[in-house]
Amino acid sequence: MTKVITYGTFDLFHEGHYRLLQRAKALGDYLMVGVTTEAYDKARGKLNVVDSLVTRIENIRKTGFADEIIIEETPGQKVNDIRKFQIDIFAIGSDWVGVFDYLKDYCKVVYLERTKNISSTMLREQNSPIQRIGMIGTGRIAARFIPEARLVSGISTQGVYNPHIESAKRFADQWEINAYTTLEELYDAVDVVYIASPHETHYEYIWSALAHGKHVLCEKPMVLQRGQAEELFAFAKENRLILFEGIKTAYCPGFHKLLGIACSGTIGNIRNVEACFTKLEKRDSRELTDSIYGGSFTELGSYVMLPVLKLLGHHFENIRFDTIKNEKGLDIFTRVSLNYPMGIATATCGLGVKSEGRLLISGTKGYIVAEAPWWKTSYFEVHYEDAGSVDKYSETFLGDGLRYEISDFLSMINGSSSSEFKLTRGESVALAGIMEQFMNAENREEQ
């Protein structure tokens, strides 16, 4: 009996897939099909897969060509499958010519001609038209956003607006996009808006973008007052628009895995969360000189508060801020202490004092620890009373990690609500409320 194997994502099952499976089956007597998991696709940078694994498997089953369907979840699995299942022929489409030649040591490798003019990517774009994105702001984060957005299919960066026209032009030239001299011009040219301007300008920009019927992805902290967050979410909902706060950690696969394990009972009931993130900035940086909106907590507070809110919720009994200030009165180091009915938390951040950046989650049966940069989670450990027993977990974190939030934002625009739980509106509102409490505690005047 000749055994053939082929692999793929098989998203939005199409004629190209059907013909590939038909010809692969004809190469032998028994066809095995390996279908990629969602996590594996994400890890290899294939974002925006629409169909669930179950749907993709079901579509393959319905063709009647597959004698057996297996799951592909890790790199390097193909060699092991070929040996394990005693495969004679590995078949794949001609878009992969050469890539799988290394498998020739184990079996025959056949590249089947790809069917022309059809692909899952093409169908995804037809089903949901490309979202043209316009940026407001040209800072460091904006520069990171563009290459990351280019990796997400279904979205295209059109241009940028900055009230300082020269900055907008420089930025636009560098990234080969348009520079808009007015907001109206930007709104006329795009479907969605990404806001990466200074914190205090977010509220006005979000309001104006929503009023022009645009979906909004706004950098953290979205706003600095609870009432503003509530008002903006209500306005977005009324107009059936998506308003999305961009805290990249919330959307990265490793953090997601960590939360899943923390909440699974493995470490018992969670009683203490400690999160710390410090990043030294120059003394004359905007972050350390803007006497109203600068400082460590407005800059990094969203990151360190995120695991606290995700794990212990937003119904804390009290909150206290301890700060170390610079000569301008700005916090160069802040520790937030929160008490909950059944737990405590500290969230620490600093732009002028260095500390060990770590996330520690303590439970009644064990603890989870993720070292810096835990906010780009790629590795964490679970420890128990028996110091010899440690579970280790790793997950891919690609590039600057903004691709994950962009991809989730896009799927929400396209009607899927499956990412909404990663950072709920309630959590965003709570974060704005905590920012407001901090500003009040520091006697800073919001303008």
Positions touching ligand CTP (CB under 6 A) are 8-11, 16-17, 20, 92-93, 95, 114-115, 118-121
- Tell me how far apart the alpha carbons of residues 143 and 255 are, in angstroms, rounded to a whole number: 24
Q: How far is CA 37 from CA 49, 52, 267, 332, in A?
A: 10, 9, 27, 44
**Closest C-alpha among 9, 210, 239, 237 to residue 119:** 9
Would you say 95 or 173 has its CB closer to ligand CTP? 95
Would you say 92 or 311 has its CB closer to ligand CTP? 92
> Looking at the DSSP assignment, which residues form a beta bridge with residue 146?
none
- Tell me how far apart the alpha carbons of residues 369 and 397 are, in angstroms, rounded to a whole number: 17
Q: How far is the CB of 298 from ligand CTP (least distance, A)?
A: 40
State the residue number with the nearest CB to ligand CTP: 93
Would you say 118 or 189 has its CB closer to ligand CTP? 118
Q: How far is the CB of 11 from ligand CTP (least distance, A)?
A: 6
With 0-12 / 13-18 / 19 or more C-beta atoms within 10 angstroms meaning exposed / middle / buried, residue 170 is middle
The two structure tokens encoding residue 15: 């004629």
Would you say 45 or 213 has its CB closer to ligand CTP? 45
- Tell me how far apart the alpha carbons of residues 266 and 260 are, in angstroms, rounded to a whole number: 10
- Rounded to a whole number of angstroms, the distance between the first and last alpha carbons of the chain is 77
CA angle 399, 176, 180 (to 5 degrees): 110
Q: How far is the CB of 115 from ligand CTP (least distance, A)?
A: 4
Q: How far is the CB of 4 from ligand CTP (least distance, A)?
A: 12
Would you say 9 or 346 has its CB closer to ligand CTP? 9
Would you say 120 or 346 has its CB closer to ligand CTP? 120
DSSP summary character for residue 130: P
Q: How far is the CB of 45 from ligand CTP (least distance, A)?
A: 11
DSSP H/E element including 389: none
Would you say 119 or 298 has its CB closer to ligand CTP? 119
Q: How far is the CB of 241 from ligand CTP (least distance, A)?
A: 28
Number of H helices, E strands in the chain: 16, 19
Would you say 120 or 298 has its CB closer to ligand CTP? 120
**Closest C-alpha among 439, 83, 124, 96 to residue 295:** 439
Q: How far is the CB of 290 from ligand CTP (least distance, A)?
A: 44
Q: How far is the CB of 6 from ligand CTP (least distance, A)?
A: 6
Beta strands in 260-410 (DSSP E): 270-278, 318-325, 331-340, 343-350, 358-363, 366-371, 379-384, 390-394
Q: What type of residue sits at position 58?
A: E
Would you say 15 or 322 has its CB closer to ligand CTP? 15
Q: How far is the CB of 21 from ligand CTP (least distance, A)?
A: 8
Provide the angle, in degrees to the nearest 10, between the axes of the packed helices 296-312 and 425-441.
Answer: 140
